Homo-oligomer: A and B are copies of this chain.
Amino acid sequence: MIDWIAFDADDTLWRNEEYYLEGREQFFKILTKYGLDPEDIHQFDRFEVENIQYFGYGAMSFILSMIELAIEITEERIRPGDIQQIIQLGKKMLTHEVILFQGVGSLLETLSSVCPLMLITKGDLFHQQRKFKASGLGGYFKALEVVSEKNPEVYAEILQRHGIQPDRFLMIGNSLRSDILPVLELGGWALHLVAHPTWSHEDDPLAESTPDRYLEVESIPGVHACLIGAGLLQG
């Protein structure tokens, strides 16, 4: 019923958003030394989104956005030592350990015995590959696709390259904008992990009526039963 199952990585298989939130908290702590109001600091998202055009998505873009914002918002009063602190924060984010969500190992073991699995992840190539290696999950996946954007064109290119019909393809992820909507648009299946954390920029709303081939569960331990219930896997 399905020829390939693809997974998103960050915040789908392993924890990610919490490291950004923690980095951001520590960044705010640095800035409050300059008498800044946390309200002002919240233009952070704007900086980050504007910088995507230069730096793409990922931790390096996040670090550079923090530095730019810190300089602007302190009106150039920020001390170089604090900028160095921000870079250290970033290096910590780039090398944190990879912590899998509960049930990921057994789910991948089950699914990989039924059909080939693919990982489709967005961000810094080097960082994503490092996490993939550190996750220990490599053996379950037949393909790893690191992409700089997740839109219908990018998914279509991946499906074409692997010779996959859209309606025989299932994507599982936490982000409506990146993992779910573009795949539905192509005519594929998409399973949304609704209780997994998601960066606010990734929070596109779903259409009012439930689209065809859209599935949702709270989290990883619900995935297998959901796929059987939808008739995509045999019970």
Chain A contacts to B: CB under 8 angstroms: 54-57, 60-61, 63-64, 67-68, 70-72, 74, 76-81, 83-84, 87, 90-91, 94-95, 124-127, 129, 146-148
Minimum Cβ distance to chain B for residue A121 (Å): 11
Known pairs A81-B76, A87-B67, A125-B124; A54 contacts B94 (CB<8 A): yes
- Could you list 26 A-B pairs, sorted by A, with CB under 8 Å? A54-B90, A55-B60, A55-B94, A55-B126, A56-B124, A56-B125, A56-B127, A60-B60, A60-B64, A60-B124, A63-B64, A64-B90, A67-B83, A68-B87, A70-B80, A71-B81, A76-B79, A76-B80, A77-B80, A78-B80, A83-B83, A124-B125, A125-B125, A125-B148, A126-B148, A129-B148
Minimum Cβ distance to chain B for residue A225 (Å): 34
With the chains together, A72 CA to B87 CA distance in Å? Answer: 12
Minimum Cβ distance to chain B for residue A143 (Å): 8
With the chains together, A45 CA to B124 CA distance in Å? Answer: 22
Q: In the complex this chain forms, how many copies of it are found?
A: 2
Minimum Cβ distance to chain B for residue A149 (Å): 8
Label chain A's interface by main secondary structure. Answer: helix
Among residues of B, the one whose C-beta sits closest to the C-beta of A60 is B60
Minimum Cβ distance to chain B for residue A63 (Å): 7
Known pairs A94-B55, A126-B56, A148-B129; A71 contacts B80 (CB<8 A): yes
User: Other than the known A54-B95, A55-B60, A57-B126, what 6 A-B pairs have Cβ atoms closer than 8 Å?
Assistant: A54-B90, A60-B60, A71-B81, A71-B83, A76-B81, A125-B147
Known pairs A76-B79, A125-B125, A148-B129; A84 contacts B56 (CB<8 A): no
With the chains together, A54 CA to B95 CA distance in Å? Answer: 7
Q: A79: which B residues are within 8 A, CB to CB?
A: 76
Among residues of B, the one whose C-beta sits closest to the C-beta of A143 is B161
With the chains together, A76 CA to B83 CA distance in Å? Answer: 10
With the chains together, A9 CA to B148 CA distance in Å? Answer: 18
